[in-house]
Amino acid sequence: MHNAEYILIKTHAGLEEVLENELAEWQIPVNEKGLRCVFIPYQKEYVYRCNMFLRTALRVLVPVHDFTAEDTDEIYVQALRIKWEEYFPVTQTFAIDFSGMSDTFTHLKFASLRLKDAICDRFRNKLGSRPDIDREYPDVLINLHVNGNKISLSIDTSGESLHIRNSRRVQNVAPLNEVLAAGLIRLTGWDKQSEFVDGMCGSGTFTMEALGIASHSAPCLFRSHYGFKNLPDFDKTLYENLMTEAEEKVTEIDFILRANDIFPPAVSKARRNIQALPQGDKVKFTTSDFTAMRPQTESGVILLNPPYGERIQTADIEGLYAQIGSTLKHNWPGFKCGLISSDIQALHAVGLRQKINRTVFNGALECKFRVYDLYAGSKRTPQDNENPQSSSTN
């Protein structure tokens, strides 16, 4: 695309390194890691591949112009100089997505309106007519990012967030974002072939991602909309070749995946979501208290996204977390457990020594993602509710 030198891939806070590792698996070099993003060199194939294959990317942006501005008039003047007519035809619709933080630009919406005016005026000056705006389904999505007085304008080649893997999925209360779920699974170091347990599955996000990861089913197999498909330089052959590659990469899984929840309607939703996926029949569903579950093999990984007491109220949150800790210690030696929660107090009640403790965000909620290595006699911390003395003896 038009003299682009690099690509910016957005992800969730705390997953930058995970995204870097995922890029390395595709032999895509990384220029630099930023906050909630990773920069890679520009290649059209990378734009398509990152959109179609990565599970920990939220958006793939191709920069148009970076500059500094002190007020919205300066944004207008700078944006008016950009040859927008070379980026997309006047017959296409566009919209502007904006993000960032700035003391200079306290009303980003207003800044985005000035950018829209500049783009329309540029077209009108050059071609005598202007493109229409379509806020819901634009052909071209332009990203305005503001950091202090630094302005970055890019083309959003994803068109909509890549966490949308499949628009038909049904949700239960407080579902996880798919990109976050995929990143957390990767953080556990799961080997993609041992038993996988989603112990409090809700609508099944962890299980859906695990199924995709283990069967090498790229997200593009389920999603057809990408912003890059509407750009004038769309390379249909490249896209189709990558689709063929995605189809050929799919492998059969032959290990156990389990999705469990205590709440029957949640299990129904997870079942509906998962059985609509290829190899969804490989997942076993149960409706029970997680503490009643037992491993079916000697090693594997358990992912837990318990209630935090924020969106789902639970009478005794600390009691629940203490029970989780006790169950993990006694029943799951040989497994790893990854647990995400915003409730630090409750997390203390788990009482197991964590191998990883990472700050991540579930929507606006700041959370900790902890990974515990479980082995016979797992070390317990002094907060162990069940047996406060055990930390010194294990």
- Which residue, 153 or 339, has its beta carbon nearer to ligand SAM? 339
Question: Using CB under 6 A, which residues numbered 294 to 313 contact ligand SAM?
Answer: 305-307, 312
Nearest approach, Cβ of residue 201 and ligand SAM (Å): 6
- Return the residues of window 192-221 that contact ligand SAM according to CB under 6 A: 200-203, 205-206
Name the residue among 153, 151, 165, 145 with its Cα closest to residue 119.
153
**Cα distance from N-terminal residue to C-terminal residue, the chain:** 59
**DSSP notation for 215-252:** TT--GGGT----GGGGSTT--HHHHHHHHHHHHHH---
**What is the Cα Rg of the chain in Å?**
23
Nearer to ligand SAM, 250 or 262 (CB): 262
Q: Which of 58, 79, 176, 180 binds ligand SAM (CB under 6 A)?
A: 176
The two structure tokens encoding residue 38: 């990773």
Question: Residue 213: how many CB atoms within 10 A of its CB?
Answer: 18
For ligand SAM, the closer of residues 48 and 206 by Cβ is: 206
- Give residues with Cβ within 8 angstroms of 121, minimum separation 6: 80, 130
Is residue 280 classed exposed, middle or buried when 0-12, 13-18 and 19+ CB atoms within 10 A define those classes? Answer: middle
By CB under 6 A, is residue 174 in contact with ligand SAM?
A: yes
Task: Using the rule CB under 6 A, give the single segment among 77-85, 144-152, 258-266, 341-349 that binds ligand SAM.
Answer: 258-266
Rule CB under 6 A: is residue 175 a binding residue for ligand SAM? yes
Q: Which of 262, 276, 356, 365 binds ligand SAM (CB under 6 A)?
A: 262
In the bound state with ligand SAM, the residue whose beta carbon lies nearer, of 151 and 201, is 201
Cβ atoms within 10 Å, residue 215: 20
Kindly write out the interface string for residues 60-89 of this chain, putting x where it contacts ligand SAM by CB under 6 A and - elsewhere.
------------------------------
CA geometry: angle 91, 97, 102, nearest 5 deg: 140
For residue 336, count CB atoms less than 10 angstroms from its CB and return exposed for 0-12, middle for 13-18, buried for 19 or more: buried
Q: Is 4 in the site for ligand SAM (CB under 6 A)?
A: no
- Output 90 or 174, the one with its CB closest to ligand SAM: 174
Q: Which residues bind ligand SAM (CB under 6 A)?
A: 172, 174-176, 200-203, 205-206, 261-263, 266, 289-290, 305-307, 312
